Amino acid sequence: MAYFDAASAAPLHPVARQALLASLDEGWADPARLYREGRRARLLLDAAREAMAECVGSRPDELVFTPSGTLAVHSGVAGALAGRRRAGRHLIVSAVEHSSVLHAAEAHEADGGSLTQVGVDRAGAVDPAAYAAALREDTALACLQSANHEVGTEQPVTEVAEACRAAGVPLLVDAAQSLGWGRVEGDWSLLTGSAHKWGGPSGVGLLAVRKGVRFAPQGPGDERESGRAPGFENLPAIVAAAASLRAVRAEAAAEAARLRELTERIRARVPALVPDVEVVGDPARRLPGVVTFSCLYVDGETLLHELDRAGFSVSSGSSCTSSTLTPSHVLKAMGVLSEGNVRVSLPPGTVAEDVERFLEVLPGTVAAVREKLGAPAATETVRTAGPDLVVDALGRRCPIPVIELAKVIGDVPVGGTVRVLSDDEAARLDIPAWCEMRGQEYVGEEQAERGTAYLVRRMS
């Protein structure tokens, strides 16, 4: 079995396993106590904090450990907003932030704060000028990930941090996906991370708050972790997290070069092996081991199940794989194809043979899924007056509306239109993406008696 979902959780690093087992014997006591066992635990905790701070690029007393990366984000956002309440209640985030950031932003907005979401280009990157333009006198905090968890695109943190610093606004960086590869450059103010992303144990997050940043921890007070992360520290996991981060950093340069070659192999060969595929994300400024592509006319959930049966663990941002039937907010913000989406994220140590086997299996797997969907129950197609067609895809889910559009586009003359009726949210993203890929014109959408009508004009 080839595990290709390291962006969700990296396999436990051998150094993390060794450190975890060793610290279970040495680090079980309360590090706040003065007796021998407590002092021993405190030494382990202090050493882990110093090692982690060195990797992050902060002072040890600026960094605290939290029970998860999500809690680190929530605590960081809430504490920074509360600390700068006198400045205002305006928050800036990018449209492709991790859900933990977006959920914190939603909570802030529900509490009466104001929110600006900065859009991204088709590669998934923000424009630093757009962040600068979003800054206001009442802006309390700005948030920007270091690299995107779904498509791997690296963000211009240094440039955005400069704009925020000039405006006197702190920048919180969610660095969960990139910390294993190196420090986050730029003059950031707050930074969060999660150990299971770099091969540490789950249940360990980190929050770094630079000296001088106004910060007011929210919730009931606690004497641990500078009052910023309540509860007894999971010391064995913290020690293992710090040890594994140092270990992966020592291997990062060589491993990054090797994984970049493997993901570039996937990026280049998948479109040649599989027709009607869109590779998404920045081709150059991206994480070493992440590559994402979307396949037309494919049910994402079925494709993932078939790849799993073939021995490959991958993930997807396709609406077909979620209970909400809505596409990934990242793919939606980028304006790229979402159906049949596959994210391959290679863990350190991935061998070239596994990648080659994936490239051998993928074309037949996609073809088999497309064949299953190629003859669905007949969708009602009604000719209207003139060179136009109406495709009724109401009640049909991704990727059926696009499949039916593709079937009938040739039935109208050049200049004629096809009106696709759909109540599937994914159609709003996938029909325009299909038009761009197939050289047709997406005219727009109109409200229909049921669902939405998407208008496509045949150009070739």
From the list 164, 320, 398, 435, the catalytic residue is 320
Give all strands of the β-sheet with 452-457 in edge-to-edge order. 381-383, 388-392, 417-422, 452-457, 441-447
Give the single-character DSSP code of 285. S
Active site residue 55: no
Tokens of 174: 């969610």
Task: Classify burial at 48, counting beta carbons within 10 Å of its beta carbon; exposed 0-12, middle 13-18, buried 19 or more.
Answer: buried
Q: Cα 396 vs. chain centroid, distance in angstroms?
A: 28
CA-CA distance, 457 to 460, in Å (whole number)?
A: 9
Give the single-character DSSP code of 409. G
If we measure between CA atoms, which residue out of 412, 420, 426, 422 comes closest to residue 442? 420
Q: Give a three-class secondary structure readout of 27-90.
A: CCCCCCCCCHHHHHHHHHHHHHHHHHHHHHCCCHHHEEEECCHHHHHHHHHHHHHHHCCCCCCE
Rounded to 5 degrees, what are φ and ψ at 238?
A: -65, -45
If we measure between CA atoms, which residue out of 42, 128, 138 comes closest to residue 91? 138
- Measured between alpha carbons, how far is residue 92 from residues 84, 108, 113, 214, 216 in Å? 14, 11, 11, 17, 19
If we measure between CA atoms, which residue out of 386, 444, 385, 387 comes closest to residue 420? 444
CA-CA distance, 116 to 130, in Å (whole number)?
A: 11
CA-CA distance, 444 to 432, in Å (whole number)?
A: 8
If we measure between CA atoms, which residue out of 245, 229, 240 comes closest to residue 26? 240
If we measure between CA atoms, which residue out of 61, 38, 110, 122 comes closest to residue 333? 122
Enzyme catalytic residues: 320
